[in-house]
Amino acid sequence: MRKVLRVDASARRDGSVTRDLADRVIAKLGSSEVITRDLLDGVPFIDETWVGANFTPESDRTLQQIEVLAYSDQLIREVMDSDTLVIGVPIYNFAVPAALKAWVDLVARVGVTFAYTETGPVGLLKNKRAVIIVASGGVASGSEDDYAVNYMRHFLAFLGIVDVEVVAADQLMLDAETSLRGAHEAIENLAASHTSAIS
Establish whether 32 is an annotated binding residue.
no
**Tally of CB atoms within 10 A around 186:** 19
Which segments are annotated as binding site for FMN?
A: 10
Output the known binding site: 10
